[in-house]
Amino acid sequence: MGTKFVYMDNNATTPLHPEVKSIIKESVDIFGNPSSLHSCGRLASEHVEKAREKIASFIGAEHEEIIFVGSGSEANNTVLSIFLCSSKIRGHDWSNGKDIITTRIEHPCVLETSKCLRSRGVNVFYLDVDKFGKINLEQLKDMLTTKTRLVSIMMANNEIGTIQDIKSIADVVHENSGALFHTDAVQAVGKIPVDVKELGVDFLTLSGHKMYGPKGIGALYAKKGVEFCPFIRGGQQEKGRRAGTENTLGIIALGKAIEMRAKEMEEEHIRLKGFKDILKNSLEQKIADIHFNGHPDDSLSSTLNVSFDGVEGEAVLLYLDLEGIAVSTGSACASGSLNPSHVLLATGVSAERAHGSIRVSLGRENTKEELGYVIEIFQKVIAKVRGMSTAYSKRRE
């Protein structure tokens, strides 16, 4: 016990890619301020721009459409908060309405921001999802009005892995309203193909630490010419769209992380899909009374969300941890609180079943050998936790 360590919580965060580690080590002395005109500043600026090019080309954007920000959360806050700008700024006129449409399964950084906007007079409407976590295009169509200014719908869900048809959603938004469309693609970029022009999105969010880059660096795609309002004001960095001296080292590392995604993504997708199938089938065979959450097909190959009847997810997590296996209950942000996952509840899962759910999220470092161990330990731990639950043993009698 304690010798093995199997990390299967990659939707919470990922370990640095070895190439990312190397470039961080190589780049620590690039200390110049990218805004400085001397050679030291210009060197830093060149590295920042090189990274911007890599990110832009990976998602089919132009380099000036990429804005570096401090996190995925900041990018999402920025987009949702463009309505807080004075309607006079840059000639925008929000006076015709500032309604926002989003979903019930967004990341807390979207849901909490929309709650805050509500208290400042912005109307926010929430789309439902079906039992697989998919939104309904007809409901979206019905919700759109002339007052709708922004629609924000995540591409891949961090808890259950469900992937939305973003291209169709963006089409519906643009064909039926003058609203801007944003997608939180933090869990999608680097896992599935993402091309902003093909998808037809106006804004897109990505984050470094979900794709083997460092924490505290993210990027926002903002389509050329689209209405914008900086969330952080000050200097003219990022063409006046995000003030603050650039996180040069983080940006360089994000550029490398994306470069490696471009090389490894496709093969990894196939490998992890195989792993997920093995995990799913084996758990289903070996453990009674289990239910899988999320979409059976339109789902990240790396994400498996499963509910076990008669257990508390937290207990399972802690016993797995004692055996060296790192997974998550619901979402990292929700753990520590006893609220059942808002995502599972939105898909119609009962609070009781949501409490018994575990998220296994695979990543590039996972091996086939680990799967056997994980399946064995899951069997042991579920039996143990169920054995402690009088309610469950009664039910089984």
Ligand X SMILES: *Cc1c(COP(=O)(O)O)cnc(C)c1O
Total count of residues recorded for the chain? 397
* Among residues 47, 149, 191, 210, the one that binds ligand X under rule CB under 6 A: 210
* Among residues 154, 211, 251, 371, the one that binds ligand X under rule CB under 6 A: 154
* Among residues 73, 113, 162, 301, the one that binds ligand X under rule CB under 6 A: 73
Considering only residues 173 to 192 of the shown chain, the ones binding ligand X according to CB under 6 A are: 184, 186-187
Query: Given CA atoms 150, 151, 157, 159 in this order, what sign does their dihedral have?
Result: positive
Q: Least Å distance between CB 86 and ligand X? A: 27
How would you classify the pairing of strands 148-152 and 99-103?
A: parallel
Backbone φ and ψ for 61, nearest 5 degrees, come out as -105, 175
Q: From CA 49, how far away is CA 167, in angstroms rounded? A: 29
Using DSSP, state whether 397 is helix, strand or coil: coil
Selected catalytic residue, list 40, 85, 116, 333: 333
Q: From CA 101, how far away is CA 44, in angstroms rounded? A: 39
Asked if 330 is part of the footprint of ligand X (rule: CB under 6 A), the reply reads no
How would you classify the pairing of strands 99-103 and 124-127?
A: parallel
* Among residues 61, 79, 101, 109, the one that binds ligand X under rule CB under 6 A: 109
Total chain residues near ligand X (CB under 6 A):
14
Q: Which stretch binds ligand X (CB under 6 A): 69-77, 261-269, 301-309, 367-375?
A: 69-77
* Among residues 10, 113, 158, 347, the one that binds ligand X under rule CB under 6 A: 158
In eight-state DSSP terms, residue 70 is: S
* Among residues 190, 218, 294, 363, the one that binds ligand X under rule CB under 6 A: 218
Q: Would you tell me the crossing angle of helices 368-388 and 313-322 to the nearest 10 degrees?
A: 130
Q: Least Å distance between CB 73 and ligand X? A: 3
Nearest CA to 140 out of 195, 109, 106, 179 is that of 179
Beta strand residue intervals within the chain, DSSP E: 6-7, 66-69, 99-103, 124-127, 148-152, 180-184, 203-207, 218-222, 290-293, 303-308, 325-326, 357-361
Give, in degrees to the nearest 5, the angle at Cα 234 between 229 and 238. 65
Q: Which is nearer to ligand X, 188 or 290 (CB)?
A: 188
Closest residue to ligand X, based on beta-carbon distance:
72
Q: Which stretch binds ligand X (CB under 6 A): 33-41, 71-79, 174-182, 237-245?
A: 71-79
Tokens 């080309």 -> residue: 57
Q: From CA 100, how far away is CA 307, in angstroms rounded? A: 33
369 CB neighbour count, 10 Å cutoff: 9
Nearest CA to 179 out of 241, 131, 227 is that of 227
Q: Least Å distance between CB 147 and ligand X? A: 26
First to last CA, the chain: 33
Q: Which stretch binds ligand X (CB under 6 A): 49-57, 65-73, 85-93, 338-346?
A: 65-73
Q: Which is nearer to ligand X, 317 or 343 (CB)?
A: 343
Q: Which stretch binds ligand X (CB under 6 A): 68-76, 168-176, 190-198, 378-386?
A: 68-76
Asked if 293 is part of the footprint of ligand X (rule: CB under 6 A), the reply reads no
333 has catalytic annotation: yes
Q: Which is nearer to ligand X, 211 or 283 (CB)?
A: 211
* Among residues 45, 77, 114, 207, the one that binds ligand X under rule CB under 6 A: 207
Q: Which is nearer to ligand X, 73 or 247 (CB)?
A: 73
Q: Which is nearer to ligand X, 86 or 337 (CB)?
A: 337
Q: Which stretch binds ligand X (CB under 6 A): 32-40, 90-98, 116-124, 202-210?
A: 202-210
Contact 304, 277 (CB under 8 A): no
Asked if 107 is part of the footprint of ligand X (rule: CB under 6 A), the reply reads yes
Q: In the complex, which residues of this chain contact ligand X (CB under 6 A)?
A: 71-73, 107, 109, 154, 158, 184, 186-187, 207, 209-210, 218
Active site residues: 333
